[in-house]
Amino acid sequence: MKVTKICCIGAGYVGGPTMAVIAKNNPNIKVTIVDINQERIDAWNDSDVSNLPIYEPGLAEIVEETRGKNLFFSTEINKAIDESEMIFISVNTPTKTYGKGKGMAADLKYVELCARNIAKVAQTDKIVVEKSTLPVRTAQAIKSILDHTGSDVKFDILSNPEFLAEGTAIQDLLNPDRVLIGGESEDAIESLANIYGSWVPQAQILRTNVWSSELSKLTANAFLAQRISSINAISELCEKTEANVDEVAKAIGMDSRIGPKFLKSSVGFGGSCFQKDILNLVYIARSYNLQAVADYWEQVIILNDHQKRRFADNLISTLYNTVSGKKIGFLGWAFKKDTNDTRESAAIYVADHLLNEQASIAVYDPKVSDSKIQSDLNYLNTRSEEENSKLIQGSATPYDALKDAHAVAIMTEWDEFKTYDWKKIYTQMKKPAFIFDGRNLLDKSTMEKIGFEYTSIGQ
Ligand code: UDX
Ligand code: UDX
């Protein structure tokens, strides 16, 4: 099928950047991103691109270049579905918070709603592309809904999981290691391969069956997260044995069979994907009664929770076993640098634990607002909104966050944290002035020379 119009349902962290890059590289294809959230669409249409709803290096420039030419943002979902030959589903698939599979399975209600809507609106044949991360065999459900419309419209379903990482989304999209397309219809697969082919070499466009494609996405995220939990497990052992986890990571990473990436020990991984996808993998394995498989992958999450908890406990015990009434300055709230996304950020859980111990927290993150910090904590429901807003506040500058603090907790690896005037920070803090570096970002000997009591991970 010759594709001249594409629609993407879901203007989020995946849909937005992916469609912007497709539009940039396919000037003859009209790309419309639709969303039920009017406010989000308005932000995508804001004439000042610094107000886009998501922050990604390089994104604003591409939106500025393509928006209004062949990239459009709209809430007119039905119109966009109707006029497009290809429809991407890129809505969120959070972990279920109710019913069967609560806390484990992916909630597919938004995906199903999209499929039903496409079935209702479509008058002409469509290629439907699953972009959202879905449990293996979801395409079956989508196909079943689309095949029971009673009309003679033909639907081809493709799985095209996204491997971009936030913070580097544009680079990952422009230079992907591979593009994965799973499907039955060769014609549909080639239609999508041609769109990517305008900038990705064909050899890097992998064609598989739908189920391999769906499962590969879950597996890739599980393997990546597993590496972090593995090195984090070793970090605790390093702290007992005077080994240095960064040295261990370097030494093992130079083995070409292991490789150097994703071996950075940290306060724990966050983000919208790793935990959700592994829980989902565990749930699927259990549903096939594969207990050993499920237990194996679940351990990745258990270790990650342990790492976050251990960081908070260590901070409390170092501050003479109490943080009650003490000011703790957080540097960073996002789940990693170069993004304003805070979903599942380790900072949220560490803060919650410290607030239970009656600490008072001031947070500085270059891209996260106070209202986001409040809503992240309120979502946990540990205490009332009033209590949260009394105990934790976002600060306008790092120096405000750290003034009179007993300790600094580095939660995100933003580059700018390294460039601060740490001597000035030291003079403005309570003494002894502690740094708990959850990202091994600062230089230990420099900090100790200034006078800080410096603790990092796995050292
Ligand atoms: C994506 C993927 O879709 C998810 O499966 C993957 O695991 C993580 O990345 P993401 O783009 O990060 O999700 O989600 P989000 O930023 O929440 O965007 C989803 C958008 O879909 C939201 O703007 C939401 O308003 C929209 N949406 C949701 C719809 O337009 N219609 C719906 O029915 C539901
Ligand atoms: C991940 C996958 O990398 C991506 O391919 C997939 O499409 C979506 O999920 P993302 O969650 O955006 O991407 O970011 P990623 O760079 O993978 O980082 C996830 C978390 O792991 C962050 O909290 C990060 O700080 C942490 N991390 C990463 C470490 O603690 N150590 C590392 O070595 C790497």
Q: In the structure, what pLDDT confidence band is assigned to residue 68 with cuts at 50, 70 and 90?
A: very high
Q: Tell me, what's the pLDDT at 147? A: 87
Residues with CB under 6 A from ligand 1: 9-15, 35-37, 40, 90-93, 110, 113-114, 132-133, 272-273
pLDDT tens, residue by residue, 15-64: 999 999 999 999 999 999 999 999 999 999 999 999 999 999 999 999 99
pLDDT band at residue 149 using 50, 70 and 90 as cut-offs: confident
Q: How many residues does the chain have?
A: 459
Going by pLDDT thresholds of 50, 70 and 90, the confidence category of residue 156 is: very high
Return the structure tokens found at 194. 């041609």
* pLDDT value at 75 more than 90: yes
Select from 91, 111, 224 the residue to mutate for testing ligand 1; criterion: most ligand atoms less than 8 Å from CB.
Answer: 91
Q: Which residues are catalytic?
A: 162, 217, 273
Q: Which ligand gives the minimal distance to the CA of 222?
A: 2
Q: Tell me the pTM.
A: 0.94
Alpha-carbon span 230 to 447, nearest angstrom: 28
Q: What is the Rg, in whole angstroms, of the alpha carbon atoms belonging to the chain?
A: 23
At 313 the pLDDT is 98
Ligand 1 centre from 154 Cα, in Å? 26
Between the CA of 273 and the centroid of ligand 2 the distance, in Å, is 8
311 within ligand 2 shell (Cβ under 6 A): no
Calpha distance 34→405 (Å, rounded): 45
Q: What is the overall mean pLDDT for the chain? A: 96
Which residue's C-alpha comes closest to atom 24 of ligand 1? 10
User: Which ligand has an atom closest to residue 73 CA?
Assistant: 1
> How confident is the model over 353-387, as pLDDT tens digits?
999 999 999 999 999 999 999 999 999 999 999 99
Smallest-distance ligand from the CA of 74: 1
CA contacts within 13 A on the Cβ side of 226: 15
pLDDT of the residue at 376? 97
Atom of ligand 1 lying closest to residue 34 CA: 30
Beta bridge partners of 88: 8, 129
- For residues 112 and 434, what is the distance between their CA atoms, to the nearest angstrom? 50
CA distances from 376 to 13, 42, 266, 277, 347 (A): 17, 23, 21, 20, 10
Model confidence at 150: pLDDT above 80:
no
- Residue 138 identity (one-letter amino acid): T
* Best mutation site among 56, 250, 266 for ligand 2 pocket (most ligand atoms within 8 Å of CB): 266
The CA 90 to ligand 2 mean position distance, Å, reads: 19
Confidence of residue 95 (pLDDT cuts 50, 70, 90): confident
> Residue 80 is encoded by which pair of tokens?
């966009």
Q: What is the pLDDT of residue 151?
A: 81
Cα 260 to ligand 2 centroid, rounded to whole Å: 14
Ligand 2 pocket check for 264: Cβ under 6 Å: yes
